[in-house]
Amino acid sequence: MGTRDRIEIEDDLDRMAERAANLFLNAAKEKVDRQGRFAVALSGGSTPRPMFRLLSQDPYAAEIPWHSTHIFWVDERMVPFDHPDSNFGAAKEDFLDTISIAPDHLHPMPTWTKPEEGAEIYEAELKAYFDRFGDGFPIFDLILLGVGNDGHTASLFPGQRSLGETQRRVLNVKGGEPDLPRLTLTLPVLNRGKEVVFLVSGKKKASLLQAILQHKDPRLPARMVQPSSGELTWILDREAASLLNEEVIHG
Ligand code: 6PG
Q: Is the CB of 176 under 6 A from ligand 1?
A: yes
pLDDT for the residue 57: 98
Within 10 angstroms of residue 210's Cβ, the number of other Cβ atoms is 18
pLDDT for the residue 144: 98
Q: Specify the pTM.
A: 0.97
Cβ(1)–Cβ(218) under 8 Å? yes
Residue 152: exposed, middle, or buried by beta-carbon count in 10 A (0-12, 13-18, 19+)? buried
169-220 pLDDT, tens digit each: 999 999 988 899 999 999 999 999 999 999 999 999 999 999 999 999 999 9
How many angstroms separate the alpha carbon of residue 178 from the centre of ligand 1?
A: 10
How many angstroms separate the alpha carbon of residue 76 from the centre of ligand 1?
A: 10
pLDDT tens across the length of the chain (251 residues): 467 899 999 999 999 999 999 999 999 999 999 999 999 999 999 999 999 999 999 999 999 999 999 999 999 999 999 999 999 999 999 999 999 999 999 999 999 999 999 999 999 999 999 998 876 789 999 999 999 999 999 999 999 999 999 999 999 999 988 899 999 999 999 999 999 999 999 999 999 999 999 999 999 999 999 999 989 999 999 999 999 999 999 98
Any residues with CB less than 8 A from the CB of 100 and at least 6 apart, and which?
61, 66, 67
pLDDT for the residue 59: 98
* Element (DSSP H or E) covering residue 8: strand 5-10
How many angstroms separate the alpha carbon of residue 46 from the centre of ligand 1?
A: 7
Give dist(CA 198, CA 180) in Å, integer.
23
What is the 8-class DSSP label of residue 108? P
Q: Is the CB of 115 under 6 A from ligand 1?
A: no
Give dist(CA 104, CA 117) in Å, integer.
21
Give dist(CA 12, CA 202) in Å, integer.
8
Give dist(CA 123, CA 63) in Å, integer.
30
Largest Cα–Cα separation, the chain? 48
Nearest CA to ligand 1 atom 5: 148
Cβ(190)–Cβ(170) under 8 Å? no
pLDDT for the residue 2: 61
